[in-house]
Amino acid sequence: MVVSPSTKMFLKTAANVLNRRAFSTSRVTCAQQMTVRDALNQALDEEMERDETVFIMGEEVAQYDGAYKVSRGLWKKYGDKRVIDTPITEIGFAGICVGAAFAGLKPVCEFMTFNFSMQAIDHIINSAAKTYYMSAGRIKVPIVFRGPNGAAAGVAAQHSQCFGAWFAHCPGLKVISPYNSEDCKGLLKAAIRDPDPVVFLENEILYGNQYPMSDEALSKDFVLPIGKAKIERAGNHITLVAHSKAVELALEASNELAGQGIECEVINLRSLRPLDIPTIEQSVVKTNHLVTVEQGWPTCGIGSEICARIMESEAFYHLDAPIVRVTGMDVPMPYTKTLEGYALPRAEDIVVAVKKVLGAAPK
């Protein structure tokens, strides 16, 4: 094929332009990826650097860098007085932390798993949560109880339960259940700065997951408000409300449903106490349908509370079908891998629930 000189010049110019072209990318694609573990570590480091009254106490948090490496490097940086290893006695070190908070320090009390927090529940409920009220506001209790919560993998009934509803039931506590890396960093910093006791429920399965971090989230000044939910995905057919790992399941289900023409609005609660009911109400008014998703047990769960609040609100009159809850099975967690999978909600369970709700709606 014969190519004229003018054509050659045009092709050469076009090639140079294309080589220099900055292709458009989304904010998420450009954002730096960070694991949940590293986001928590960064939050702890920044708050300890900012405020010398902040310290960490728990099992293996110092020389071992934490059972899940969340406190990695902090003992070497801040020393024995601010990163303190303890014996295996939750009732002991939780009591020390609560007393330190009474005295004006800001302890971060780490439970290797929140299943072990049952050993210390008297300190959490009767001392930390109630003292500000019982002292008529004279004694503040700026403490954070944090660690992995909910189902892990292959650790059976005594190490697999979600305590979100347990602690959210108690006035005097603030309860946070974050999903991704931005949630974990911004909300842990807010929890440490808060003058009240905060229960911070992480998820072991999510520790190693990477999520995008915006430039704002990478800043040392990044703090998220406690009690404010986030709309992770906009939609107009049905609202899915979830927290922690259940948000991931809701997003997975919403992607599958989008391929079938059903657009779900996915709300990441972030906080369980206080609940951001106005955000849920606004979404329900728009979509007229609601499904709640959680990995905990169904009886007296977070989904149950949301159902009651919506029923008691003006948003109830905008529902075109009953609310459906997707939860863990109402049994102790089985050890057998196959049964464990069936005991926890799956994305396909959410898909079935959504279709049930939309199918029940008036035509």
Regarding pTM above 0.85, the answer is: yes
237 is a catalytic site residue? no
What are 67-120's pLDDT values in tens digits? 999 999 999 999 999 999 999 999 999 999 999 999 999 999 999 999 999 999
Q: What is the mean pLDDT of residues 168-196?
A: 98
159 is a catalytic site residue? yes
Identify the weakest region by mean pLDDT among 18-22, 59-63, 169-173, 300-304. 18-22
pLDDT of 319 reads 98
Active-site residue among 46, 47, 59, 90?
A: 90
Active-site residue among 60, 159, 252, 318?
A: 159
What are 215-272's pLDDT values in tens digits? 999 999 999 999 999 999 999 999 999 999 999 999 999 999 999 999 999 999 999 9
HEC readout, the chain: CCCCHHHHHHHHHHHHHHHHCCCCCCHHHHCEEEEHHHHHHHHHHHHHHHCCCEEEEECCCCCCCCCCCCCCCHHHHHCCCCEEECCCCHHHHHHHHHHHHHCCCEEEEECCCHHHHHHHHHHHHHHHCCHHHHCCCCCCCCCEEEEECCCCCCCCHHHCCCCHHHHHCCCCCEEECCCCHHHHHHHHHHHHHCCCCEEEEECHHHCCCEEEECHHHHCCCCCCCCCCCEEEECCCCEEEEECCHHHHHHHHHHHHHHCCCCCEEEEECCEEECCCHHHHHHHHHHHCCEEEECCCCCCCCHHHHHHHHHHCCHHHHHCCCCCEEECCCCCCCCCCHHHHHHHCCCHHHHHHHHHHHHHHCCC
Confidence of residue 19 (pLDDT cuts 50, 70, 90): very low
What are 185-225's pLDDT values in tens digits? 999 999 999 999 999 999 999 999 999 999 999 999 999 99
* pLDDT surpassing 90 at residue 22: no
Confidence of residue 154 (pLDDT cuts 50, 70, 90): confident
